[in-house]
Chains A and B, each alone.
Chain A
Amino acid sequence: MHMLREGHVTAGLIGIVWAFVMAITVSVTLSFASGLGFRPGGIGCLILGLSGGLAALYVRDRLVLFAGFVLVAVALLFTPVTPLVFGEDVPMQWRLAAAISFGVFSIWPLKVMLVEAHPGTLTRHAFEDAVIRFLTGFGYIIFTAIVLIPFYVMVMTSLKSQQALLRNPLDFSIELSRGWDLFTSYTELFGQFGFGSYLWTSFYVSVLTVLITLAFSVPGAYAVARLRFKGRAAFSRSILLIYMVPMIVLALPIYIAFSMTGLRNTIPGLILIYPVTTIPVALYMLQGYFRGLPVEVEEAGLMDGLSRLQVILKITLPLSLPAMVSVSLYVFMIAWNEFLLAFMLLDDPSIFTLTRGVAMLNSSEIPRQHLMAGAVIATIPIMALFLGLERFMTKGLTAGSVKG
């Protein structure tokens, strides 16, 4: 442990690990961007990382440090100990760009990480500071990568042609020469597969779900939050309990009942069942919010001669508008993303919801880019809502606690 806290050891180790991280990052990024062959070179990274870490300890002048490191990185390209190994067909400008970005993104963060480090034994504080800065940088990269890569692949695959995908699964570069043909998958989905109607079905099913959910849960939540009655505690607990019953357990009897009553394979059946899955959540979220509202305002209303229902309509609801928006968004998201019930209850392609439609695309006869285009179509509306109303959405997510 003490060895580690020696300035040189700390700087060297962090330098080496960081150089590897960056070499992998640069290779993966460029591979995904161009489809060409890039991979990290072991010994080159080792040498560059070690020297970079040590140099960051000694060289005070940033410009000298950065320029020197990048130059060395570029120079090593032409030796056997190159930090990045390229496929045969990688043109020179790509190699240079790779080496320069590797150099910059290695040494610059290294300098920041080792800002408190110095030659000689480090204090515990300085050592941990360096480690934490390293972990932070590492965390940003890894999280951004794991979140972005699937979405990048999703969007880019949907824009490719079948042949291009089979030729090189890594090549995600956009063939701009294809012009509007890039969107072939989308036009086919909206044309032949009727995704326009799926989009509409999903939309109105979700909106109706939100409306019905609110109609049921607002009075219920108000009663649980404000009114005193026997069994209140038991009631709020049973809401939570119901919240925990997994959908698949309910889906089976619902499937049977719907099959026998002819509600299966109908949109009204779906609209009957969706709100019930969301009412407990909405009730739970709303009652939490109603509790937080000041009672005095409502009491003043009561004193002035309003009835309870008028109090709810004229005082409580306007005050809880932000909470209603959060709940609506959250319920909309659940209904929009719902898959299991739509999958089990709908068979007729003319009344599919979007998720059911995308599930239909998962067959060996339908090319992958269609499936990914379907995924994009399902994701974009909910993403747009999320990004546009993030403040409400995050509030909804936190309050809705932990619905899977």
Chain B
Amino acid sequence: MTSPTPPTTRGALERREARLAWSLLLPTILIVSLVIILPLLSIFWISFKPVGLADLRPVAPMIRESLRERSGQMVVEYRVRNSSQQKEITGLGFTDTLHDGVAILELPEFCAVDGLQLRCEFGDVPGGFNERVRIPVALDGDAEALEEIVEGSAPAGYGTGDNILTNTEFTLENFARIFDGDEFLSVLWATIFYTVFGTVGALVVGLFAAMLLNKSFRGKGVLRGLYLFPYVSPIIAVAFTWVTLLDPFSGSLNALLIQMGVTAGPINFFGQRPLALIMVTVFEIWRYFPLSFLFILARMQSIDTDMYEAADMDGASPFQKFWYLSLPMLLGILSVLFLLRFIWTFNKFDDIFLLTGGNAGTRTLTVNVYEQAFAVSNIGAGAAVAVVIFATLLLFSVFFFKYISQEEGL
């Protein structure tokens, strides 16, 4: 007698289920790959391109048409321009529809009329090309009405410009530039300092806050809500509030410190090294401690109280209970939080950008993306920094998946 074995092929039901699953997932996969995967791939492409902010405006012909009187003669005037000052356009030309009541008297040699279609060719033109084509015409009818008709139909320009984003010109210049010497070291240092101390600080402060609220008393709900304020409110509101509060000239904190005799003159918290870096890290801790607080508190409340009773019976002191019982129980959530927060702090852009704009030694990698791409107008270099960030993140995520267990529910 043979023992029954499970089927080795996929049954119809199973296939149907998989089909349903994929069709449910399809919209998400499509939109996510369109808006996330595609940009990610393009960032690799751009990082090897010598492309600046000005190159984003496509090189294209710009043609404007007008009907006007010039030295007693009515003319249709076409103003033909190359939108770029540097790059040439090959095969520039335009077509326009002629209208009844507007009879052409004389044509320039590069233009031709085919039925009601006017076509003018300019060939290859250099950057900064700008020319007026005047075609004398005889009008038959009301000039104003004709002007409206003529100017109402836009001429169609054509011609191809070289687009830096799609051609095959590559360079390593961007990477050479961002890895260049002192600046890179200072960016790296700011990133490491901000990420490590921001993460650890938010965890420790959050742990402290969670211990405060891990007992029942009246007003606990109010305090818990209150401690979440920094995280819930818009970053833009709290960041500007901090800037206002710590302003060296009109800030309340400086006024307070001077009045209390702590300092003689105002301190420029966000404007001097190395204080600015410390202050943005403090802000990061302030803004994100609520999150770790919330997680740790949730975990604390699920710890079995029997254990503490047993420890009490054995005469354990409060610190011993914390060190030998609570902390080991919290280790799981703490390490998960550490990894996740570490990655998110590393990714943080808004906070520093709003507080210091990346000045005074607070330029982290993420701020450097913006700095290179928009402040220095070098999109390619910005993309190169983004590639560095992405590579680092891939490295982190290896750790992430290795150490975060599914049981933690994350």
Q: Which residue of A lies closest to B212 (CB)?
A: A139
Q: Are A279 and B350 interface neighbours, CB within 8 A? A: no
Binds A, one of B67-75, B84-92, B121-129, B235-243: B235-243
Ordered by A's residue number, 26 sampled pairs between the chains whose C-beta atoms are within 8 Å are A31-B259, A37-B259, A147-B229, A168-B255, A223-B24, A224-B25, A229-B17, A229-B18, A245-B40, A246-B393, A250-B40, A253-B40, A256-B42, A256-B46, A260-B58, A279-B28, A368-B244, A371-B240, A378-B234, A379-B237, A382-B234, A386-B225, A394-B224, A397-B291, A398-B298, A402-B341
A228-B14, A404-B348 are known contacts. Are A253 and B46 too (CB-CB below 8 A)? yes
Q: Which residue of B lies closest to A272 (CB)?
A: B35
Q: Tell me which of B36, B233, B349 has the highest count of chain A C-beta atoms within 10 A of its own C-beta.
A: B233
> Which residues of B lie under 8 Å from residue A401 when comparing CB positions?
340, 410
Given the complex of chains A and B, what is the CA–CA distance between A224 and B29 in angstroms?
A: 12
Given the complex of chains A and B, what is the CA–CA distance between A230 and B393 in angstroms?
A: 27
Q: Chain A nearest CB: distance from B283 CB in Å?
A: 10
User: Is B390 in contact with chain A by the CB < 8 A criterion?
Assistant: yes
> Which residues of B lie under 8 Å from residue A75 when comparing CB positions?
none
A169-B251, A169-B252, A252-B43 are known contacts. Are A393 and B369 too (CB-CB below 8 A)? no
Q: Are A219 and B318 interface neighbours, CB within 8 A? A: no
Interface residues of A (CB under 8 A from B): 27-28, 31-32, 37-40, 87, 124-125, 128-129, 132, 136, 139-140, 143-144, 146-151, 153-154, 157, 165-166, 168-170, 172, 215-217, 219-220, 222-224, 227-230, 232, 235, 237, 240-242, 244-250, 252-254, 256-257, 259-260, 272-273, 275-276, 279-280, 283, 288, 308, 333, 336-337, 339-340, 354-355, 358-359, 362, 368, 371-372, 374-376, 378-379, 382-383, 386-387, 390, 393-394, 397-398, 401-404
User: Is B313 in contact with chain A by the CB < 8 A criterion?
Assistant: no
Q: Which residue of B lies closest to A312 (CB)?
A: B24
Q: Which single member of A27, A154, A227 contacts B17 (CB below 8 Å)? A: A227
Given the complex of chains A and B, what is the CA–CA distance between A162 and B38 in angstroms?
A: 49
The 10 closest A-B pairs by CB, nearest first: A246-B347, A375-B237, A253-B39, A229-B18, A404-B344, A227-B21, A402-B340, A219-B24, A223-B24, A276-B35
> Which residues of B lie under 8 Å from residue A32 when comparing CB positions?
252, 256
A154-B241, A169-B252, A244-B397 are known contacts. Are A382 and B232 too (CB-CB below 8 A)? yes
Q: Chain B nearest CB: distance from A192 CB in Å?
A: 19
Given the complex of chains A and B, what is the CA–CA distance between A404 and B231 in angstroms?
A: 9
Q: Chain B nearest CB: distance from A209 CB in Å?
A: 13
A170-B252, A249-B389 are known contacts. Are A151 and B241 too (CB-CB below 8 A)? yes
Q: Which single member of B43, B221, B233, B254 contacts A382 (CB below 8 Å)? A: B233
Interface residues of B (CB under 8 A from A): 14, 17-18, 20-22, 24-25, 27-28, 31-32, 35-36, 38-40, 42-43, 46, 56-58, 165, 208-209, 211-212, 221, 223-238, 240-242, 244-245, 250-252, 254-256, 259-261, 286, 288, 291, 294-295, 298, 315, 317-319, 337, 340-341, 343-350, 353-354, 366, 369-370, 373, 379, 382-383, 386, 389-390, 393, 396-397, 400-401, 409-410
Q: Are A252 and B393 interface neighbours, CB within 8 A? A: no
Given the complex of chains A and B, what is the CA–CA distance between A244 and B31 in angstroms?
A: 17
Q: Are B24 and A249 interface neighbours, CB within 8 A? A: no
Given the complex of chains A and B, what is the CA–CA distance between A284 and B165 in angstroms?
A: 35
Q: Which residue of B lies closest to A283 (CB)?
A: B28
Q: Chain B nearest CB: distance from A83 CB in Å?
A: 14
Q: Which residue of A lies closest to B252 (CB)?
A: A169
Q: Chain B nearest CB: distance from A168 CB in Å?
A: 7
Q: Are A125 and B317 interface neighbours, CB within 8 A? A: yes
Q: Which single member of A124, A154, A393 contacts B237 (CB below 8 Å)? A: A154
Given the complex of chains A and B, what is the CA–CA distance between A242 and B33 in angstroms?
A: 10
Q: Which residue of B lies closest to A402 (CB)?
A: B340
Q: Which single member of B14, B165, B226 contacts A147 (CB below 8 Å)? A: B226
Q: Are B259 and A216 interface neighbours, CB within 8 A? A: no
Apart from A139-B211, A283-B28, what 18 extra A-B contacts exist at CB < 8 Å?
A87-B259, A128-B317, A139-B209, A150-B238, A150-B241, A153-B244, A220-B28, A223-B22, A227-B21, A244-B344, A248-B349, A249-B386, A253-B42, A256-B42, A256-B46, A276-B35, A374-B237, A397-B228
How many inter-chain contacts with C-beta < 8 Å in the A-B complex? 278
Given the complex of chains A and B, what is the CA–CA distance between A204 and B58 in angstroms?
A: 33
> Which residues of A lie under 8 Å from residue B261 when comparing CB positions?
39
Given the complex of chains A and B, what is the CA–CA distance between A403 and B231 in angstroms?
A: 11
Given the complex of chains A and B, what is the CA–CA distance between A393 and B225 in angstroms?
A: 10
Q: Chain B nearest CB: distance from A37 CB in Å?
A: 5
Given the complex of chains A and B, what is the CA–CA distance between A375 and B383 in angstroms?
A: 32
Q: Tell me which of A32, A166, A252, A280 has the highest count of chain B C-beta atoms within 10 A of its own C-beta.
A: A252
Given the complex of chains A and B, what is the CA–CA distance between A172 and B245 in angstroms?
A: 12
Q: Are B366 and A260 interface neighbours, CB within 8 A? A: no
Q: Are A229 and B22 interface neighbours, CB within 8 A? A: yes
> Which residues of B lie under 8 Å from residue A390 when comparing CB positions?
221, 225
Q: Are A40 and B43 interface neighbours, CB within 8 A? A: no
> Which residues of B lie under 8 Å from residue A379 when comparing CB positions?
233-234, 237
Given the complex of chains A and B, what is the CA–CA distance between A293 and B199 in angstroms?
A: 34
> Which residues of A lie under 8 Å from residue B32 when comparing CB positions?
242, 276, 279-280
> Which residues of B lie under 8 Å from residue A252 when comparing CB positions?
39, 43, 46, 369, 373, 379, 382-383, 386
Q: Chain B nearest CB: distance from A108 CB in Å?
A: 16
Q: Are A279 and B31 interface neighbours, CB within 8 A? A: yes
Q: Chain B nearest CB: distance from A281 CB in Å?
A: 12
> Which residues of B lie under 8 Å from residue A224 when comparing CB positions?
25
Q: Are A359 and B250 interface neighbours, CB within 8 A? A: no
Q: Chain B nearest CB: distance from A166 CB in Å?
A: 6
> Which residues of B lie under 8 Å from residue A259 when comparing CB positions?
56-57
Q: Are A383 and B259 interface neighbours, CB within 8 A? A: no
A27-B260, A253-B43 are known contacts. Are A124 and B234 too (CB-CB below 8 A)? no
Q: Which residue of A lies closest to B15 (CB)?
A: A229
Q: Chain A nearest CB: distance from B372 CB in Å?
A: 10
Given the complex of chains A and B, what is the CA–CA distance between A320 and B347 in angstroms?
A: 32
A150-B242, A337-B235 are known contacts. Are A124 and B25 too (CB-CB below 8 A)? no
Q: Chain B nearest CB: distance from A151 CB in Å?
A: 6
Given the complex of chains A and B, what is the CA–CA distance between A172 and B370 in angstroms?
A: 37
> Which residues of A lie under 8 Å from residue B369 when comparing CB positions?
248-249, 252
Q: Are B294 and A398 interface neighbours, CB within 8 A? A: yes
Q: Chain A nearest CB: distance from B91 CB in Å?
A: 21
Q: Are B232 and A393 interface neighbours, CB within 8 A? A: yes
Q: Are B294 and A397 interface neighbours, CB within 8 A? A: yes
Q: Chain B nearest CB: distance from A320 CB in Å?
A: 15
Q: Which residue of A lies closest to B408 (CB)?
A: A401
> Which residues of B lie under 8 Å from residue A136 when comparing CB positions?
212
Q: Are A387 and B244 interface neighbours, CB within 8 A? A: no
Q: Which residue of A lies closest to B284 (CB)?
A: A404
> Which residues of A lie under 8 Å from residue B242 when comparing CB positions?
150
Given the complex of chains A and B, what is the CA–CA distance between A7 and B340 in angstroms?
A: 44
